[in-house]
Structure formats: C-alpha cells, structure tokens
C-alpha cells in the first residue's frame, strides 16, 4: 500500500468536507472570492506562502524545501481550476448548490480539493528539494482565467520548469488514470456569422435580398469545410448550432445571425477552417445579393502534452493505480493549454467512477477520487524534485 495513499485516505474526511462545502457554494468565473479565500486560508494554515489576486481571483501557494540556497533548485507548478458553471443543479443531496443557476457540474470543486490535499501532504512531509507552486486558477469555463493569470505575470513571478494539471473523468474507474503525449484536448472556437440583406414583405420576396435563404445556403456550404479542406488524419469538427432570424410570419428580416463551434487539435487546422469559413460565407452571401461577416473567437488553443512530462506524470501515477498512456484525445477544450504553450508539462485524467457526465445537471464529483488525484500530484513532486 502506498504511503501517500495511506496519508491521504487518513485525511479524506477533512477534504471531503472541504469539497462539499465548495460544491454547495459555486462561483462563476472571476467571481470566485469565497473559494479563493478558503484556498488561501487553508494554505496559510499549513505554512505555505500565499499570493492572492493573481489574474483577478487566482491564488498561488509557494512551498520550498531542501537547500534553499541552490540557484539551480528545480521548480514545478501544479494547477487546478476553481470556477463553476451557469446552470441549475438537479441533485437533492445535502451539499447541492445553494446558489440558483450556478453549479459545480465539471468537478472543479474536486480539482481544487485534490490540489489542496496534495499541498497539505507536501507541506507536512517535505520529501523533496526545490519549489512547488500551487496554482489555483479562476475562470476556466470560457472566461479566460489562464490567460488572465499569464497576463498578470504568473510564470515571471512564480517561475516553473514544468507545470501539471488534472481533470476527473466519468466512466473511468476510481484509482485509474488516462494520459497521452501530444494533442490531448481540442482547441475550441465559438463563431458567429452575420448575414446582411434587405428585408421586406414576405409576399414580395422579389423586392428583397433574402438573408434567410442566404444564411441557409451558408449553413449547407459550411459542411464542406472539414470534409473537403481538412486532411483525414487531422480531425476537426464544425457545427452550426444557432440560426437567429426574424420574428414575424410575413416579414423577411434585414439580417440573420448564425453561430456555432469549431474543434481541432492544431492551431494550423483552426486557421485553415477560419479562412475557408470566411471565404464561403462571403462568397455565398454575395451570390444572393447579401453580405456576410465572420467573428471567429478562439476560446482555448489545443492542449498539447509534452512527451517527457507525460512519462513523468504516468510513472508517478502508476505507483497508485493503472495508467492508460494512450488514452483517446477528446474534442472538449481546456484553457490549461495556454499554460502548456509557455511551459512544458502534462495533463492527466483521474477516474471519477460511474458518475453522470460533466456539464450534466446531476453530475457530482466522486470524493473517493481525492486521494488518487492528490496522490499522483504529490508523487510527481517527490519524483521530479527528489533530494
């Protein structure tokens, strides 16, 4: 039995209470004031140096051990996200959300708790030499929290040689892990196309330039972007999910707005898709006497794991449970990708057992997962920063 797991299981009631408290009090991106205060208070209680307000509501804890006079002492970053989602929870247990319209439906309450548990363990044992930065990030769910922390000098103020993150995985057994080198999560884009025409009476379409017809043609033409432009080996998805048009039965509107998402595993593919979307939208609209403008917004870049750091993370986790080192890449996005573009590192999935899927109103983080996520992070620090 792993000594790390023994210690973390001993403290599981404490961290289960913390996790459920965070779950009951969800906060949206850049509004995580209560959660950030809880994190800072716990870190300070364990003797960890605390920096508040990094990137808005972010918190960074700094723990040093060993020969602090060494100029070449290694530095490692461990990151967790803190924000909740704007959705209504449908669970009826005692720790369900007490804030209508807000819910920890992605397990960030668990991620925060796992990093806290790792921090306490490392502060107590200090079986490493170097510096650990515990990075508690706000606003992962599309509000740019990683970029906000980076813009606030995250890696200049808290230099890291490597950086690591984790996420729970419903359907993967508790005590098991998944990771892969290279692209592991997709880049995420939200897009809008405004089609401007000339509206008029529904009974006299000849006096209009109908943006509804033009928009419908654009939707169909966009289906060719991936199938006829992206190489089969380079996976991508383009979905139109919105078509906002007129309000009356007998009025052709002046304009319509389309919207949707793009996912891909490389920035080059995202740029290719953007170029083809713009060309198709403008060309098709012009054919109907209309004009079109594309707003293509990159929410997160592709998450790319460094191969050497995947090996380090996998070896640390394998001391606690089985690791699938070729876990399938997923089309979901994760803004930890922005940190991995600056510092080499890796992102591992931790089994959450038989739970509802993330972003579902009945999702709940599995507290039995806490020792395995925290243990993998702690074992990684002890391995990479070995005395």
pLDDT tens figures, 329-343: 999 999 999 999 999
193 and 226 share one domain: yes
62 and 123 share one domain: yes
13 and 64 share one domain: yes
Query: For residues 295 and 28, what is the distance between their CA atoms, to the nearest angstrom?
Result: 25
Q: In the block, which residue shows the tokens 């030499």?
A: 129
Beta strands in 34-129 (DSSP E): 49-54, 58-65, 75-81
123 and 150 share one domain: yes
**Could you report the per-residue pLDDT of 245-284, keeping only the tens digit for each?**
999 999 999 999 999 999 999 999 999 999 999 999 999 9
309 and 165 share one domain: yes
122 and 266 share one domain: no
* Domain termination residue (choose one: 272, 299, 326): 299
Indicate which CATH number applies to the domain containing 377: 3.40.630.10
Indicate which CATH number applies to the domain containing 267: 3.30.70.360
Could you list the residue range(s) of the whole structural domain that residue 275 is in? 187-299
Query: For residues 262 and 13, what is the distance between their CA atoms, to the nearest angstrom?
Result: 42
194 and 82 share one domain: no
CA atoms within 13 A on the CB side of 16: 11
Chunked into runs of 10 residues, the chain (387 residues) has average pLDDT values of 85 98 98 98 98 98 85 91 98 98 98 98 97 98 96 98 98 98 98 98 98 98 97 96 97 98 97 98 98 97 98 97 97 96 98 98 98 98 95
Domain count, the chain: 2
Nearest to 327 by CA among 344, 343, 341, 313: 313
pLDDT in the model for residue 69: 61
120 and 11 share one domain: yes
127 and 102 share one domain: yes
pLDDT in the model for residue 1: 40
* Domain termination residue (choose one: 299, 316, 336): 299
250 and 310 share one domain: no
30 and 169 share one domain: yes
Q: In the block, which residue shows the tokens 């991936």?
A: 226
* Domain termination residue (choose one: 279, 299, 319): 299
pLDDT in the model for residue 2: 58
124 and 23 share one domain: yes
pLDDT in the model for residue 81: 98
Query: For residues 85 and 96, what is the distance between their CA atoms, to the nearest angstrom?
Result: 14
């Amino acid at each position: 039995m792993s000594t790390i797991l023994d210690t973390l299981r001993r403290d599981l009631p404490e961290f289960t209470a913390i996790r459920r408290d965070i779950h009951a009090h969800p906060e949206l991106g850049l509004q995580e004031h209560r959660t950030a205060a809880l994190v800072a208070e716990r870190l300070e209680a364990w003797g960890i140096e605390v920096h508040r307000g990094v990137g808005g509501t972010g918190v960074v804890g700094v723990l040093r051990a060993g020969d602090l006079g060494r100029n070449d002492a290694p530095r490692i970053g461990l990151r967790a996200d803190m924000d909740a989602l704007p959705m209504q929870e449908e669970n009826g247990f005692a720790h369900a959300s007490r804030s209508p319209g807000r819910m920890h439906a992605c397990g960030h309450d668990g991620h925060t708790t796992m990093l806290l548990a790792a921090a306490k363990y490392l502060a107590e044992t200090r079986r490493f030499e170097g510096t650990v930065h515990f990075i508690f990030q706000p606003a992962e769910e599309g509000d740019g929290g990683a970029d906000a922390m980076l813009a606030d000098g995250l890696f200049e103020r808290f230099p890291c040689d490597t950086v690591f993150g984790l996420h729970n995985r419903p359907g993967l057994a508790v005590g098991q892990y998944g990771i892969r080198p290279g692209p592991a999560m997709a880049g995420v884009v939200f897009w809008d196309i405004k089609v401007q025409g000339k509206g008029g009476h529904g009974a006299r379409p000849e006096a209009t330039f109908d943006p509804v017809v033009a928009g419908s043609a654009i939707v169909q033409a966009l289906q060719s972007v991936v199938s006829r432009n992206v190489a089969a080996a380079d996976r991508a998805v383009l979905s139109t999910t919105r078509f906002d048009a007129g309000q009356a039965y007998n009025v052709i509107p002046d304009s319509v707005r389309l919207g949707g998402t793009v996912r891909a595993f490389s920035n080059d593919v995202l740029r290719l898709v953007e170029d083809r979307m713009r060309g198709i939208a403008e060309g098709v609209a012009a054919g109907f006497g209309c004009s079109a403008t594309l707003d293509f917004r990159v929410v997160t870049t592709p998450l790319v794991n460094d191969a050497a750091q995947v090996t380090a993370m996998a070896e640390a986790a394998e001391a606690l449970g089985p690791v699938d080192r070729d876990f399938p890449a997923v089309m979901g996005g994760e803004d930890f990708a922005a940190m991995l573009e600056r510092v080499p590192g890796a992102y591992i999935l931790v089994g959450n057992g038989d739970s509802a899927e993330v972003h579902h109103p009945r999702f709940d983080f599995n507290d039995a997962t806490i020792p395995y996520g925290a243990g993998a992070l702690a074992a990684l620090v002890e391995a990479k920063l070995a005395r």
